[in-house]
Structure 1
Amino acid sequence: MKPLVIIEYCPKCGWLLRAAYMAQELLTTFSEDLKGVSLQPAEVSGRYTIYINEEKVFDRKEQGRFPEIKELKQLIRDKINPEKHLGHSDKQ
């Protein structure tokens, strides 16, 4: 079964647009590899956490920042399809 990416974001912080942008990028890049991307409003203020199924991939509070889209694509790729080439997102 294809994995589901969940982006948990803080609606009080106004991070819905950021989450939607990241979801769009992931769905475009991994259209054949993902079941989908779910946007989930967080119950805890300040939360911005990205999961693949139940596994945490990125946490804004732990990292002290938001992920760059290039970095996020690489993290997702490494978990779901390590052989996939990401084009310009693979360059250093």
Structure 2
Amino acid sequence: MTRIALPALALAMAPFFSAPAAAWEGHVQECYETVYVAPEYKYSKRLIKRAETVLEYRGKGKNRQVVRVHYPAVYEEIRNLAQPGHYVLRPAKCRN
């Protein structure tokens, strides 16, 4: 029984260990390369302090004077993710 089982097992396993010489080779039609696309953000702003123009006293003694000073508005920038970073396949020249 052992004399018959080993050759039969060897014949049954032969296709799994055969050389790739009999494999079919395809034809390259198009080539692509992967390109990373950076994430996109949408920006908005939120008012923290309004702009104002005020009169201030500056200096001491004889050099004291009234000046008009403008203080610009202060905003907080808010950044929201619109589209995360990802990879894209782009057509490329075939090298092989």
The structure with more radius of gyration: 2
The structure richer in helix per residue is 1
- Bin of the TM-score, shorter chain as denominator length: under 0.3
The structure richer in strand per residue is 2
TM-score by length of 1: 0.19
Q: With a CA cutoff of 8 Å and minimum separation of 6, indicate the structure with the bigger relative contact order.
A: 2
